[in-house]
Chains A and B, each alone.
Chain A
Amino acid sequence: MAVIGSAGLQAQVQVPLPQILGEADMNIKARKLGDASVLLDMVLTRVDKGETLPAGVALENVQLMAANTQFQLQNFARAEEVANQLLKRTTTGQVAADARLVLGLSLALQKKFAEAVPVFAALEESTVYRDKALMYRSMAAQQANQPEVAIDALNRLLATAPRDADWADSALTLIALQLQQRNLDAARRGLELLRGNLSTVDNLAGLNVLSLQLGDTLLAGNDPAGALTAYRTVLGRSDLLRMQKKRTARMETQLARQKSLFHGSITDTDTVRRVEARIKATKEALDEIAKKTDYDATLFYRLGHTFLIRGGAWEAAIVFERLIKEFPEATERELAYSELVRAYADSGRIDKVRATLDDYMRVLPDSKLLPQALYVAAQTAFDRGRADLQLEFLGVGIDRYPEAELTEFMVLMQTNAHFAGGRYEEARTSAEHYLQKYPTGRFAEDATYLHAMATLVLGRATAAIKEINDYVAKYPEGRFVADGRYRVAAAEYALSDYAAAEKQLDAWLTDYPVDHPQRGEALSTQGDVYAGEGRIDDAIASYRAAMSASLSDDQLGYVLDELTKHYQSKRDFNSAAIMWEDFARERPDHPFVINAAYWIGRLRAREGKTDTAISQMGEIARRYITDPNRDAVERLLTQMATLLARNPKPGADGVRPPPPTPAAIASRVRRELLADGNSNQPTVRARVLFTEAEVASIRKDTLLRDKLLAEIGDQIAPEALSPGLLGRVGDLLREQGKLERARACYDQLVLRYPRSMYADFGYVGLGELAYLAGDYDSALIHFTNAIDRAGARFKLLEATLGQAKTLLASGKLSGAQELFERIASTRSWRGEATAQSIYSLGEILLRRGTSEDLAQAQAHFQRVYISYKKFTPWVARAYLSSGQTFEKLGQAKEALATYREMLRDDRLSAYPETARARERIAVLELQVPSTPATPVATTPGGAS
């Protein structure tokens, strides 16, 4: 029976309530919610009028059904009304909880958020709806502009709710609120928590946005460490797209499942609505991200910038390099270039600075940030001692950006750089440029004074005196007045105007306090003036006074040397020796202690007190002998060995005693160097052996020397050796074929003492080992490190030769040729390296193989066996290669003559090249009949 017919309510008969309720139930099941709602309202109206519900049916259940139905029909006002009526009668139990859910949601959907908040708060008491109530309360509070309430609700929800997609969504909302409220710690903790539960997060794009926001906020709040943590959690574009697609698919599956299980409940409806909204939002975000091909550029820039601020210059450089490479059109590129220059500068990689600047200027020549980058680069080049690059950067900056704000700084820096580099004319020109362009500039005083100093250093003393006096007149309170007045005295001394210099210095010493930093220098010059006047005792007094004032090491060395010289001129060896002994005692850690030991030995020896000298040197050496980090000890021991190696003087009877035996020397060395309980200390043992080896070396006993050094290598662990010993011992071990022991020494040297003056021994040694193993890539790196990193103080030739031969072995002929030519043309390297280089240049030409190359190669080989006969390994190779070149040129007779000439040199008989030459002779004699067994040429150049 239809309760409501087509004629409508007008025609209704008074149908019993159970029947109407049954009809409503059927309509709801058939999803005819409109009809059901009319029927339920009818029931409620009749109950209001006093009719009684059927037994077992409670009014609040009917009200709840009605409210639910209205809600589903989106009649939120009516749903609110019915739910409110219910809650007037019933405030506890499941029905009340259901009603509150309907009421809260109805209010929220009517945008009555503030009214909804307390309804959801009350709903939290329900164990069934607690989580939903907290979530809805937070949403409503957010909309009602009650962030604290929302945060409270979300915090309580997240503490206990199961960790699923809803939980993650709520966490995202909470983080956004915390950020909005600037509760940064809480936001950071929230993000970390989410990152730890990444699988629950459906809205990864949203998570990325929040991470970026948090990073930006923390960075703006001067918390780069926090910012970095936030940025590092941001997913890159490809990861984000890949993962978000998976998440979206998962959400769609969930949505389909949700719809299939739909029971018509309010929470089901809301869940579906929220999942749909989430899918829509993430798809939109995904589309946007997919369109932005340079999406990662903004993240990379933030990362790099933050690393840089935190002192992570290396990491910053890596990130900026990638940004520039992968996003050449991104807007962040300009900033990235600028900061990449700074990153390389901060990490001290000046060559990379230069390469980046070249690229930057080529790609973005009009960038406003270039002057700053050039300035940074110039400053770094200065810090790294690369004056050439510093001037290059400054030149470009000044020429290309004359009106930039930093140009004034750059011109002054250029003046300083020229001055520091000894280019005084250029310094004067640069200073004039500054004064012309910025006559009242910030650095006009500096430029004026630098100009005067450059004039002085150029030897134009008279002009300099005038310029300095002009400066003092213009800047009477200037920063350089004291220095200027002192320089005037020095200039007068240079002009041999001793009287004027003396007067100027007297005035200076009177006008400036005793603790003035230049007082020592002034007193030293006063000593020079007195010495110039022949007043040696006054000069000595002034120098001694200078020693009591502050002096740089250079100045101190000068004063000590001058005093030693003047004492010796007076034959007062004792005073000089005492001066050095006092120095060594008073300044035991000063680098000049080694000089002191040298002079003590020499001066006491002049007095005939060699024994005393050795003992005093031993006393100084014992102070540091256990410490392998003190690599100056070896220099002192070498000096001591010089005295120990001397033959004894004749006695009173005129008879010279026999020279001490190695055993006697060893005994003396031990006596001088060993102290209580240190005889078994490995570093001490090594140094004792080293001293004995040095004595043996001076006495030309190379066998004993090598035996002693080998003992160090065989018996003492590399960890106990000083850098100097590691290099020497490593080389000997390598020569002896003990390659692994040698490698251990070299490794120790480059890893533990990379800044040692001997570090190049380590790199060259490792390069040679790699070369021997045929690992040319590594060999080249080591040889290059020896020069670039260690400065190649001792092994520049070996390192350069190593680079050259490695390039040759790897077939990089042009690079090898350039280096071999450099070695061959360096006069100070004349010797075996020259022979090797000339031979190798011949080999390069031989490999190129044109007839012209072969002729030139021949000339190189002949030059080796004519001009460098002493170096037999290369002579043997050169003869053989020369013969082979003749053969390639089809000149069999000349080849035969060359091989025969080679055989006549007995020194070459043991070389494998000679055996090879014999083989070739046998072959060629078959081809060249009745060849005379005499050279074809009259010169010693064989076939040449």
Chain B
Amino acid sequence: MKRFLCTLIALAAVSPLCAQRYVLKDGRTLNQADVSLKDGNLVKSLAGGGGEIAYPLSQVVRLDWPEPEELEQASQLIIEGKGAEAEEKITPIYRLFAPFSKLPGSWWSDAALIRSRAILAQGKTADAERSARELMSTSTDAETVIAAQLIMSRVQMLLNKPDIADAMLDEIMRKDASSEIEARAAILRGDIAYARKDFEKALEFYLQVPAFYGTEDAVMPMAMLGSARSYRGYGDTARAERAYIDITVTYPNSAEAEIAKREAAAL
């Protein structure tokens, strides 16, 4: 009777999934804390010094892993213009998931993309290109591949080859992409037009971000800085000043805020 009553009134409780574990082909799981990676195997030590059991990595079919907090932290460091620190923060995660880059539940693609952006933020074009190529050949996520292609295009800009960057963008944007990618592409197009001193066209690209991708906070300061510079180039000092102020007020911790202050003072 009591059991019946209990059953009647019990509430289903689902505990949060917070394990870090490898799921094997046969359904067994290995906790990350219990194993180490050795010679292409996950190795589990038996209790009491009774030896080790090795599980080949090929036996792992899936990872049950919560999102590593380093992803968010490194992304934030990039926004703040701290590319080197971001790279340092994300590289261990990138390495941790590298053996499982193509498995469901792996965070490798995310980590590799953030690492690539961190390298790019430091202006290390050759390394950025190498890491983007690695992503393009390894990642199974179409969105990440497009993001890597965008990095390749950005590298061309840094190498002062806007025409090649532009042609690459044409190719990239033929595919369906997320809002974030579209926003980043718009900024790159703005940069290309700005490099050509076509300030009107540059504004039309940069301002697509606040107009259509208003919730993409990670890229908004970049777009706003581009628009401020383009207004200045176009000869609209009042709008340039307002855009600079918007950056410093709305995104005070971004790398662009410092630049905005400096450039606004020189208006």
Contact = CB atoms under 8 A, between A and B. Distances in A.
B208 A318 contact: yes
Given A232-B215, A233-B215, A348 B197 contact: no
Interface string A223-266: 00000110111001001000000000000000000100101111
B203 A265 contact: no
Contacts of B163: 775
Contacts of B197: 750, 763, 766, 778, 781-782, 785
Given A232-B215, A267-B11, A754 B232 contact: yes
Interface string B181-209: 00000000000000011101001100110
B243 to A, nearest CB: 10
- Interface extent on B, as a size class? 35 or more
Interface stretch (B1-9, B106-114, B115-123): B1-9
A304 to B, nearest CB: 8
Interface stretch (B72-80, B96-104, B233-241): B233-241
Contacts of A443: none
A778 B196 contact: yes
B214 interface: yes
Nearest to A232: B214
A781 B196 contact: yes
B164 to A, nearest CB: 12
Contacts of A195: 215
A436 interface: no
A64 B4 CA distance: 12
Given A778-B196, A782-B197, A303 B5 contact: no
A382 interface: no
A99 to B, nearest CB: 10
Judged by DSSP, the binding face of A is: helix
A264 B7 contact: yes
Contacts of A258: 12
Contact of A25 (B4, B9, B207, B242): B4
A261 B236 CA distance: 64
A315 B210 contact: yes
A770 B235 CA distance: 22
B182 to A, nearest CB: 11
Contacts of A368: none
A821 B39 CA distance: 77
B8 A318 contact: no
A943 interface: no
Contact of B211 (A318, A349, A789): A318
A72 to B, nearest CB: 9
Nearest to A239: B179
B47 interface: no
A195 B266 CA distance: 37
B46 interface: no
Contact of B203 (A239, A314, A766, A778): A314
Contacts of A467: none
Interface in A312-333: 312, 314-315, 318-319, 322
A754 B233 contact: yes
A781 B201 CA distance: 10
Among B7, B10, B11, B233, the most chain A Cβ lie within 10 Å of the Cβ of B11
Contacts of A21: 1
Contacts of B12: 258, 261, 263, 268
B5 A233 contact: no
Contacts of A785: 197-198
A545 interface: no
Contacts of B214: 228-229, 231-233
Contacts of B2: 61
A152 interface: no
Given A25-B1, A319-B212, A751-B233, A781 B198 contact: yes
Nearest to A759: B235
Contacts of B204: 314, 318
A672 interface: no
A777 B179 contact: no
Contact of A303 (B211, B227, B235, B236): B211
A106 to B, nearest CB: 15
B116 to A, nearest CB: 24
A744 interface: no
Given A778-B196, A781-B196, A754 B234 contact: yes
B4 A28 contact: yes
A861 interface: no
A186 interface: no
A128 to B, nearest CB: 7
A2 to B, nearest CB: 19
Interface residues of A, number: 55
B207 A315 contact: yes
A38 B38 CA distance: 67
Given A307-B211, A754-B235, A265 B9 contact: yes
A68 B5 CA distance: 10
B5 A263 contact: no
B15 to A, nearest CB: 11
A468 interface: no
A23 interface: no
Interface string A748-759: 001110110000
Nearest to B203: A314
Interface string A713-746: 0000000000000000000000000000000000
Interface in A118-132: 128
B206 to A, nearest CB: 9
Nearest to B5: A61
A114 B1 CA distance: 34
Contacts of B11: 128, 265, 267-268
B196 A318 contact: no
A528 interface: no
A98 B8 CA distance: 10
Contacts of A349: 200
A195 B217 CA distance: 12
A57 interface: yes
A261 B203 CA distance: 56
A744 to B, nearest CB: 14
Nearest to A128: B11
A25 to B, nearest CB: 5
Contacts of A267: 11
Contacts of B8: 28, 64-65, 68, 263-265
Contacts of A789: 234-235
B103 to A, nearest CB: 21
Nearest to B238: A311
B1 A98 contact: no
Nearest to A763: B197
B234 A263 contact: no
Contacts of A751: 229, 232-233
Nearest to A320: B211
Interface string A286-315: 000000000000000001000100011011
Interface in B149-188: 163, 179
Given A265-B11, A754-B235, A763-B197, A65 B210 contact: no
A348 B236 contact: yes
A778 B68 CA distance: 45
Nearest to A26: B4
A789 B230 CA distance: 13
Given A65-B5, A68-B8, A319 B196 contact: no
A57 B1 contact: yes
Given A231-B214, A314-B204, 16 more contacts: A61-B1, A94-B9, A232-B214, A258-B12, A265-B9, A307-B211, A314-B227, A314-B239, A315-B207, A315-B210, A319-B211, A348-B236, A754-B234, A755-B235, A763-B197, A781-B198
12 contacts: A61-B5, A65-B4, A229-B214, A232-B214, A233-B214, A267-B11, A314-B204, A314-B227, A315-B210, A349-B200, A751-B229, A754-B235
Interface of B: 1-2, 4-5, 7-12, 163, 179, 196-198, 200, 203-204, 207-208, 210-212, 214-215, 227, 229, 232-237, 239, 242, 266
Query: Ordered nearest first, which 4 A-B pairs have the shortest CB separation?
Result: A232-B214, A754-B235, A778-B196, A315-B211
